[in-house]
Structure 1
Amino acid sequence: MTRVWQIGSVTDAARARVSLARLAARHGVPAVERARLAAAFGIRLRQCLAKGGTWRLTVGTPGSDDEEGVLHVVLFPPPDVSAAGETPWEVTVPCPEAGRPDDGGTVTDDPADLAQALLSADEDTAQVLDRLAEQEALVAFHREELHQTNQGVLALHAELDAAGRAQREAFAAEHRARNEAENARRRLTFLADASAVLNASLNHGEIVRRLPELLVPRYAARVDIWLFDEDDDPHHPPTRPAAAVRAARTGRPQYAADHPGGLRGVDDRPPSLLDPGRPLLCVPLLTRQAPLGVLTLSPPGERWDPDDAVMLLELARRASIAIGNARRFEHNRDIAETLQRALLTELPTTPGLSLAARYLPATHGMNIGGDWYDAFHRPDGSLITVIGDVTGHGLHAAVMMSQLRTALRAYAVDVGSPGRLLTRLHRFLHQLQPHLYATAVIARFHPDGSTLTWAAAGHPPPVLRLPDGRVRTLDAKPGAMLGIPLEQKIADHTERVAPGSTLALYTDGLVERRAEGIDPGIGRLAAALGSFVPAELDTDLEGSADRLLQPMLSDSERDDDVCLLLCHLHG
């Protein structure tokens, strides 16, 4: 709600001032704020009367059209004064309460009423003055109290000064202790992070390359790693510092400099003749089997902090373990790879039928697993093709794979049914290795060239490409994994195949990805196989196998081995 007053005379000004004060009081404006508003408004009224004309006062109180909770006061100048550049005077005062609807705050024109209203308007000023008197008395009280307190403060000043000195000394000691603790935490963090980096790789060349990157320039200005069995030229070996040679012979760390190092667990030696101005810390790289070499370091400054030197000795010990583990791993990997490559069979030649196989080891871990394929003829002239996957990686999986392959060839002399062959392999594996499992698919091409019999045991289903380019997934009910503690009899499934058909057998490493499972991968394989022109498969099955792998293995990192066997009936 907005109220309006026209002010053209002293009487109008007095009436407006009284009305404004009443409105403010009825809307809960505190006495101090009312006094401040009345004083500012009175000063403005004197200026308005001096300039002449009729001024218009509007007061917006909390209501439907105004901002609730505030009292908005605006004093508009007459048109002639406004034209001269005079701007309205306005002020906003918070209103904690809303006035009653009939509170107009209007003052009559009766002189007696107006005089009484003016006298009543000074009550706010009186309240402010009373409060000011109370505050002055309170200030005087606190001034006296502060004076008495200062007397005690002066008496305690000497004691506080002494306590301050003691506190500063304590703070300095605490700061030193905190720095020592922070330095210890920094060394332990570096040691843990560096150990994680060194043990993340099973390639000893990668470990040797990363070690200087970890130490330079924070803990060493220069790093040299001498591995005993990797000299560049055995006929002209490089010259080594005497301290490094002594560390290799004694197995104890050596410090070569023109001053004693004072490092715990390190022998002091004379400076190196190769570089007399550079201190050297030579740490042997030891393992339980045999010493591997010597790590030679130069300090980043004049010398090492003793605690940093202790940390470097521990890092050298962990690097020795990492390099030794990597070398043992590489040795086992080479043996396993040689064994598996030797066991991958030569594909037989069959009139009217072409075979192409691919084996790709995983890019992580041992790189050698239990994936295998085989193809051979039975005495009746039929062709047995098989692809399988033994759980696990490494030498154990490769050896088990070779045993299954040998057992399958032996069983196939008397048995031609793929289901019966898988059933026998299941019993063989369960008795031979009760805690090792395998999956497999066996497909038999009959001598008539138009019949295919197959059976699966826990393995991804074969994919059959028909001569017209359509692709089918042979997902009839398979058997369970080979070797599980379950008596099972695996069934055969028969398909009629026409010339120009292509059968794809594969392991799960080709189609399975952690983020999406196996079904999307089988779909991609079917689409890729169906995209070939029949002439490609007839004339160049080997090249077709490579082109089939390209879209399936677009990512360079593989967690599992990949095995693929293509069987194509000539059109």
Structure 2
Amino acid sequence: MTRTWRITSVTDAARVRIALARLAGERGLPAVERARLATTVSERLRQCLTKGGTWLLTLDTAGPAGSARLHLVLTPPQEARDGGEPPWEVTVACPGGDATAGAVPAGTAEPSALAEALLGADEDTAVVLDRLSEREELVAFHREELEQTNRGVLALHAELDAAGRAQREAFAAERAARTEAENARHRLTFLADASAALNASLNQEEILRRLPELLVPAYASEVDVWLFDDEDDLRGPSSRPAAAVRALRTGRPQYAADHPGGLPGVDDHPASALSPGRALLCVPLLTRRAPLGVLTLSPPGACWDADDAVMLIELARRAGIALDNARRFEHNRDIAETLQRALLTELPVTPGLTLAARYLPATHGLNIGGDWYDAFRQPDGSLITVIGDVTGHGLHAAVMMSQLRTALRAYAVDGGSPGRLLTRLHGFLHHLQPDLYATAVITRVHPDEPTLTWAAAGHPPPVLRLPDGRVRVLDAKPGAMLGIPLRQDIADHTERLEPGSTLALYTDGLVERRARGIDPGIARLAAALGAFDPGELEADLEGAADRTLHPLLSDSERDDDVCLLLCHLHERSIPGALRPVGGHRGAEQGHA
């Protein structure tokens, strides 16, 4: 259905608004939508009245099948259309009602109709206001809810921020703890390695050389070690920093610099007048008896870390113990060398024979052991030479060796062959020291007889160099070791001895090596003896002894004592003539 209104005045506009409101209500348009439609149309009509002229409002209620709608078209006057103003249109869908029912009556609205329309408009306005109140309450509710949500979000952000800060602080603390633990591990590792390096040697000079190598440049830029002994008093006062002197007197570490060090357990002092431009940490080298000296260090940078200073003080304590051990060892070694020299035999002077002996202590430990050599004359004029080795090392073995040597000399007074002498020594050692054993070789030579008599008990065989340079190893079956729980009679062996011959007796330290055994060493000894010219042995047996040792011992350090005894029979023996012999040499003369 289509309806058209002509609008030229306010009354026309009011009638159209009333008719549209009534028609929208009949079509089931909700009150809010009716109010919105009425407000829109009123605003448009007010603009039309302002512009003037006759406006046409066409209402079309027709719609698709099964639906209803209101289609409004406001057409401007002809002049406005000519001016290009387009018609105004609006379409509103109606949820219910018949599109052909409820025609709006034409004509002028009665006052009762106007009043009714006015009340209807108020009802729509009231509905709109109620809906608006509901919306306002809903908005207020949501605003409050949003505000609470915002406060919760802000609180959550604050908690997250606090948790983040706590986590960052925890991570930083963990990193710091890990770094501190790693530094502590590094210091402990360094301290352990440095202690092992210092205690690996019993040589004081070696320890003093290793200290700067260990500390520079990681923990010190300069290192100075001042060792104090009685000789310092004889030399007079030396130029030492006051902090070093104070550390030696008080036994406490001292720090001298132009600023306090703040190091734990260290006394602070002004910078040293001898070194005003650098800091000094003076740590006493303490021992069990008295301060041994002072270790003076300069920092690698501006100053030391407190933990580094504690580690350096502990290292100085260990260095002091290592130096004290080295001094004590050197002192005991000097005593041992003196004792060993006292136990060595002065070789006798025998017509027609030349003797040369060498004794070299092991390069490790005290220079005292159970190896020995001896030579003495029997009542019949024959010469007894002996070389032996008591098992073990140290003072106990040396004392037992001295007893065996004394017993042998006592037995030899009664005469007897080398085999008989060894048999008696075997019984003596077995009853005196059942848990101690020895090896030995005894030879007997008479200058007027061309015969060598010898016997061995568990000892490496003698080596005989003939005048023509050939070398023989006298490897006849020896007896067992002296002192074993076994009764034995050690047999004698004889060998023709030509003038110009040289006999070599030795201990296993000269020829035995752990990696190769003893046989290659004996072969090397035989080769060394065979390489001499006959005149060398006749003219310089002492030098020949040194040259024999050199190729046998120059390839390794000695972990056992070495004895060598050479006996040379002159090519031309003059009855009654005496020929001087070389005696013995200790460790300081053996250069092999």
- TM-score tier by shorter-chain length is 0.5 to 0.7
> CA contact under 8 A between 1:510 and 1:562: conserved in structure 2?
yes
Find the aligned partners of 1:272 and 1:485 in 2 and give their Cα distance: 72
The DSSP-based 3-state class of the residue aligned with 1:234 is helix
Matches within 5 A, 1:274-353: 274-353=274-353
Distance in structure 2 (CA, Å) of the matches to 1:509 and 1:273: 57
CA distance in 2, matches of 1:253, 1:435: 52
Structure 2 counterpart of 1:548, one-letter code:
T
SS of 1:443's equivalent in the other structure is strand
Q: Does residue 400 of structure 1 match 2:376?
A: no
> How far off is 1:396 after superposition?
3.6
Name the SS for the 2:388 alignment partner: strand
Tell me: CA distance 1:207–1:554, structure 2 relative to 1, closer, same or farther (3 Å): closer
CA contact (8 A) 1:378 1:416 kept: no
Q: Is the 8 Å Cα contact of residues 332 and 395 (structure 1) preserved in structure 2?
A: no
CA 468–223 in structure 1, closer or farther in 2 if over 3 Å, else same:
closer
Aligned ranges 1:110-121 → 2 under 5 Å: none
Distance in 1 separating the partners of 2:520 and 2:236? 59
Secondary structure of residue in 1 paired with 2:459: coil
Q: Quick one: distance in 1 between partners of 2:316 and 2:406?
A: 47
Mark the CA change 1:484 to 1:163 in structure 2 (over 3 Å): closer, same or farther.
farther
Instruction: State the 1:315 CA deviation.
Output: 0.5
Shift of 1:355: 1.8
Q: Determine the C-alpha separation between the residues in 2 that align with 1:559 and 1:410.
A: 32
Q: Distance in 2 between matches of 1:277 and 1:431?
A: 73
Q: 1:214 to 1:421 in 2, by over 3 A?
A: same
Equivalence for 1:443: 443
Q: Does 1:539 align with 2:531?
A: no
Which has the higher mean CA deviation after the structures are superposed, 509-518 or 444-453?
444-453
Normalised to the residue count of structure 2, the TM-score between the two structures is 0.65
CA deviations over 1:446-491 (Å, ceiling 9, x no partner)? 4642222211122111112234433222222222333344444322
Aligned equivalent of 1:452? 452
- Partners in 1 of 2:244 and 2:251 — Cα distance? 10
What pairs up with 1:254-293 in 2 under 5 angstroms? 254-293=254-293
Task: Report if the CA contact (8 A) 2:377-2:383 is conserved.
Answer: yes
Instruction: State the alpha-carbon separation in 2 of the partners of residues 279 and 411 from structure 1.
Output: 72
Give the unaligned 5+ runs of structure 1: 1-153
Structure 1 stretch displaced more, 241-250 or 518-527: 241-250
Question: What is the rounded CA distance, in whole Å, between the counterparts of 1:232 and 1:320 in structure 2?
Answer: 18
Give the Å deviation of 1:363: 2.9
- How far 1:167 moved relative to its partner? 4.6
Please give the secondary structure, in 2, of the residue aligned with 1:388: strand
Label 1:516 to 1:160 Cα distance change in 2 as closer, same or farther (>3 A): farther
1:442, distance to aligned residue in structure 2 (A): 0.7
In structure 1, the partner of 2:558 is: 558
Consecutive unaligned residues of structure 2, counting only runs of 5 or more, are 1-152, 572-592
CA distance, structure 1, for counterparts of residue 556 and residue 338 of structure 2: 23
Mapped partners of 2:227, 2:554: distance in 1: 38
Are 2:513 and 1:527 aligned? no
Q: Is the 8 A contact 1:339 1:398 kept in 2?
A: no
Q: Tell me what 1:218 maps to.
A: 218
Q: Which residue of 1 aligns with 2:199?
A: 199
| Partner amino acid, structure 1, of 2:372 | W
Q: What is the deviation of 1:204? A: 1.0
CA distance 1:486–1:315, change in 2 (3 Å): farther
Change (3 A) 1:188 1:484: farther
Map 1:494-505 onto structure 2 (within 5 A).
494-505=494-505
Structure-2 residue corresponding to 1:83: none
Paired residue total: 417
Question: Which letter does structure 1 place at the counterpart of 2:223?
Answer: V
SS of residue paired to 2:234: coil
Q: CA deviation at 1:435?
A: 4.0
- Name the CA shift for 1:391/1:228 in 2 (closer, same or farther; >3 Å): same
| Distance (whole Å) between structure 2 residues aligned to residue 231 and residue 546 of structure 1 | 37
Cross-structure match for 1:417: 417
- Cα distance in 1 for partners of 2:185, 2:449 equals 74
**Secondary structure of 2:223's match?**
strand
Residue of structure 2 in register with 1:123 after alignment: none
How far has the Cα of 1:287 moved from its partner? Answer: 1.4
Q: 1:546 corresponds to which letter in structure 2?
A: D
AA aligned opposite 1:549: L
What residue in structure 1 maps to residue 40 of structure 2?
Answer: none
Paired letter, 2:500: G
- Find the aligned partners of 1:187 and 1:391 in 2 and give their Cα distance: 44
In the other structure, the counterpart of 1:129 is: none
1:221 Cα deviation after fit: 2.0
TM-aligned CA deviation for residue 505 of structure 1: 0.4
Select the structure of larger CA radius of gyration.
2
1:387 to 2:390 alignment? no
Q: What percent of counterpart residues are identical?
A: 84
Q: Could you give the per-residue CA deviations for residues 86-117 of structure 1, whole angstroms, max 9, x where no partner exists?
A: xxxxxxxxxxxxxxxxxxxxxxxxxxxxxxxx
Quickly say closer, same or farther: Cα 1:565–1:195, change in 2 above 3 A. Answer: same
TM-score normalised over the length of structure 1: 0.67
